[in-house]
Structures are given as C-alpha cells and as structure tokens.
C-alpha cells in the first residue's frame, strides 16, 4: 500500500474507537461448543471482516492458523529494555491459552512486524494522550474461490501478515509530552498484538486488554510486568472458532457488490493475487496485487452504520483500481 492509500485508510479507518457491531454471538456458540464454554468473553463486540460478493455481504472472523510459530520482527531501533518488554508481551500471549507461538525472525515474508512510530508529532497533530496509542493493520487473506461461490459457514480465510505501530510517548492532559512507562508499553503492545492476532474493535466492557480504557490497558501491563499470569477470554474465544467463521450473511442489491465482482473478474483475467482484507473501526479495505507488487484497493466506509444497515453498503474504487477496471472493462 502506498503512502497516500495508507493515509486514506488510517484517517477513515482508525479515527474512532468502539464501533458498534451487529451480529449474534449466541448463534456462533451453537456451532462451536468450545466458545459456549468460555465465560465473560467479549467476542460479540468484535468488528468482523467484510466480504461483499455477488449480491451478498458476508461478515466473518479471521485469525492466524494454529501450528507453525508466527514469525515476529521486532523494531530495529528498540533499546535492550524495550526489546525485553516487547518479548514479555509476546510471551504473555503465548501463555494465554490461544494455542499460538511466536518466533523472532528477520526479514519477514509473513508474520507480525512491530515498529515504533516515527516521532513526527506537531502541535496541530499531537499524538493521542492514551497510553495504548498505536495502530495495527492485520491482513486477512481470502481464497479467490470465495468470490465465485456463495460462502458456506466457514470462509477459506486466515491472517497472513500484520504491522503494529507503537508510540513511545504521548501528551498528558496539559499537552506536555510524556514518555510511556514500561507498564504502558507492555499494555500497548498486548493491545495492539491482540489486533494483530485477529480481534478488531474495542469492547466497551469486560476484563480484556482489547478494551480501549486507559486504566485497563495500564493495569494489565502492570500485572504482566510483575510476572502475573496473563489470560484474555475474548482472544481465547476468537481462537476457539474456525478462522473464517461466518457470523452473518445479508443479501444486498447486486449493484452494491458490483465493484468487487468486477475486480474479482479482472483479477482472474490478469492473474492478480488477492483479495487481502482489512477492517478498522470506521473503514474496511479489499486489496489485490499484481506481480510487481502494485496494489489495487477497494474501500468501504462507515462501518458502524453498515453493520446496522447492511443494505447501505457502498464500495469505492480508489484511483489505481478505477483505472484498472476501466482498462479491463472498456465502455462500448
């Protein structure tokens, strides 16, 4: 994704937290008995990934497959202490009962890339004051066959790559720059790694590190730093269901999925890879790539409103994608 495309997604997708969801977790518990046995989870507060295709909008969950260790790249500019704290956060997730493992690796073709955000703070655009300030992009790869057939109860989908950006500091209530404490860095890393593992959204309640509460993230970071065993029922709930588990399907006007249908047709014709899906609190993306690495994205805005009223779905083709579609489907 180019800088301009990334800026569009960041501004549209991550401006607000706590997007409302609109799917029935009880129905999912009936399909996955292990989920029903996990008390007090907040999986129903997650924002699902979205796949519009052939007049149907499919909402589904996506996570890493169990088995091979997930490669992780740590920030090359991390101090020895910062690296120790990040490894502590990784170890906490390994011991949280999800059935996942991490392996430090360089360079990455797949896995989780952790980086510190550049210190480009200005007075007009200060960093957020919350200690969990960070941003994560988690890429869910969907097999193209899901675009040619109506998806069943489980989509062929899995997380394949994630980028985590962490801030070293923020601003306090008086506007002063304040370095995050070790506890805040651990809490931030745990929270953003939760997104990288596949949970999107921010529950308003519950004892989960995915809660965007400043105090909650700091408290959990303090416990992990002190060596207290870490667990999170919400991420355990996500990893108790199949990756690609469909939580809702809604029939919409075929015209509303037409950009995706045309892009899927062009991808087959031009041998593009994809789609890769991302979802944020306010926006979602579907990306295809050519052999040279150029990205052709489709953008879906207004996620909270869309989850309440799926028939309002609108898919926008960004400039590079519109040009590709015009070339692939010239007007008569």
- Each residue's pLDDT tens digit, 111-120: 999 999 886 4
Residue 332 has pLDDT above 80, yes or no: no
The pLDDT value recorded for residue 229 is 95
66 Cα distance to chain centroid: 18
What band does 217 get if pLDDT is binned at 50, 70 and 90?
confident
Distance, in Å, from the CA atom of 95 to the CA atom of 197, rounded to the nearest integer, reads: 14
Query: What is the pLDDT of the chain when averaged over all its residues?
Result: 87
Q: Is the pLDDT of residue 264 over 60?
A: yes
Model confidence at 131: pLDDT above 60: no
pLDDT at 82: 97
Buried b (16+ CB within 10 A) or exposed e, 118-131: eeeeeeeeebeebb
Better-scored residue on pLDDT, 179 or 54: 54
User: In the prediction, which pLDDT does 149 show?
Assistant: 82
Give the C-alpha separation, 97 to 240, whole Å: 10
Give every CB contact of residue 130 below 8 A, 6+ residues apart in sequence. 170, 212, 214, 217
78 pLDDT exceeds 60? yes
- Check if the beta carbon of residue 246 is closer than 8 Å to that of residue 59: yes
Res. 228 pLDDT band, cuts 50 70 90:
very high
Span 216-237, average pLDDT: 94
- Give the residue extent of every domain in the chain: 3-246
pLDDT band at 205 (very low <50, low <70, confident <90, very high): confident
The reported pLDDT for the residue numbered 23 is: 83
Report which listed range, 8-12, 132-136, 155-159, is most confident: 155-159
Q: Is the peptide bond before 76 cis (omega within 30 degrees of 0)?
A: no
Of 331 and 235, the structure prediction assigns the larger pLDDT to 235
The pTM of the full predicted model, rounded to 2 decimals, is 0.88
């Amino acid at each position: 994704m180019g800088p301009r495309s990334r800026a569009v997604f960041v501004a549209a997708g991550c401006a607000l937290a706590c997007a409302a969801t609109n799917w029935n977790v009880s129905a999912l518990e009936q399909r996955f008995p292990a989920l029903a046995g996990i008390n007090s989870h907040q999986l129903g507060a997650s924002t699902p990934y979205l796949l519009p295709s052939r007049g149907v909008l499919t909402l589904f969950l996506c996570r890493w497959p169990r088995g091979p260790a997930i490669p992780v790249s740590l920030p090359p500019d991390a101090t020895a202490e910062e690296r120790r704290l990040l490894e502590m956060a990784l170890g906490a997730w390994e011991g949280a009962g999800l059935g996942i493992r991490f392996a430090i690796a360089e360079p990455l073709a797949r896995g989780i890339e952790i980086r510190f955000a550049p210190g480009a703070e200005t007075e007009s655009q200060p960093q957020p004051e919350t200690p969990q300030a960070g941003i994560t992009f988690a890429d869910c790869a969907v097999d193209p066959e899901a675009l040619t057939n109506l998806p069943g109860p489980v989509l062929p989908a899995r997380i394949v790559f994630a980028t985590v950006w962490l801030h070293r500091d923020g601003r306090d209530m008086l506007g002063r720059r304040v370095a995050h404490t070790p506890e805040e860095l651990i809490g931030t890393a745990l929270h953003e790694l939760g997104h990288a593992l596949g949970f999107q959204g921010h529950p308003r309640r519950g004892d989960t590190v995915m809660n965007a509460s400043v105090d909650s993230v700091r408290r959990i970071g303090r416990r992990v730093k002190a060596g207290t065993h870490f667990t999170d029922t919400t991420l355990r709930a996500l990893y108790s269901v199949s990756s690609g588990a469909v939580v809702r399907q809604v029939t919409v006007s075929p015209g509303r999925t037409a950009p995706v249908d045309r892009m899927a047709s062009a991808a087959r014709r031009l041998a593009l890879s994809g789609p890769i899906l991302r979802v944020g609190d306010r926006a979602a993306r579907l990306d295809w790539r050519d052999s040279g690495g150029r990205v052709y994205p489709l953008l879906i805005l207004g996620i909270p409103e869309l989850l309440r009223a799926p028939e309002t779905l609108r898919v926008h083709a960004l400039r590079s994608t519109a040009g590709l579609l015009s070339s692939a489907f010239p007007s008569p």
